[in-house]
Amino acid sequence: MSEQQAFRDAMSRLGAAVNIVTTDGPAGMAGFTASAVCSVTDSPPTLLVCLNRNASVWPVFQANGQLCVNTLAAGHEALSGLFGGKTPMEERFAAARWRRGVTGSPQLDGAVVSFDCRVEQVVPVSTHDVLLCRVLEISRNDDTHGLVWFDRHYHALSRPVCGLAS
């Protein structure tokens, strides 16, 4: 087994939230499915998003300089598939309802949380860019539960039966 395949297999065992990352601006509207998203700091609120420079959406995100990370809820598996494949952009966005955040990037109605961001720094690493994104607006939906990607499958999260003891 190659080192690359061994790494991919190992990473499949690392559960991650499923997100649709969107943008709109002078270069147009685009979006893609991502699990490579995480917090960096809360002061100022900053996320990182990894984007392959070979992705068809890369030039749009690079030119717009803003994005929204929409964390998917249980039941959004089909939408994740649309944004993760070769589906034309118009069809991707037509499959759900959206509103606009402060940057104008599409925020998914029904997302667990949406982080509307300005890209402040781009760090190239091999085939990808790491986008360091300043969070400008947060929209939460506390009535739903998340969707994670683990072992190459979607898993819906549910409210825990009991909390941890103090």
36-75 pLDDT, tens digit each: 999 999 999 999 999 999 999 999 999 999 999 999 999 9
Question: Model pTM?
Answer: 0.92
Which residue from 35, 39, 7 is spatially nearest to 21, judged by alpha carbons?
A: 35
**Residues 90-122: tens digit of each pLDDT:** 999 999 999 999 999 999 999 999 999 999 999
Peptide bond into 44 cis (omega under 30): yes
Question: What is the predicted pLDDT for the residue at 89?
Answer: 97
Q: How far apart are CA 142 and CA 113, in angstroms?
A: 8
Residue 5: pLDDT over 70: yes
Residue 15: pLDDT over 90: no
pLDDT > 70: what percent of the chain?
96
Residues in Cβ contact with 35 at an 8 Å cutoff, skipping those fewer than 6 apart:
16, 17, 18, 19, 149
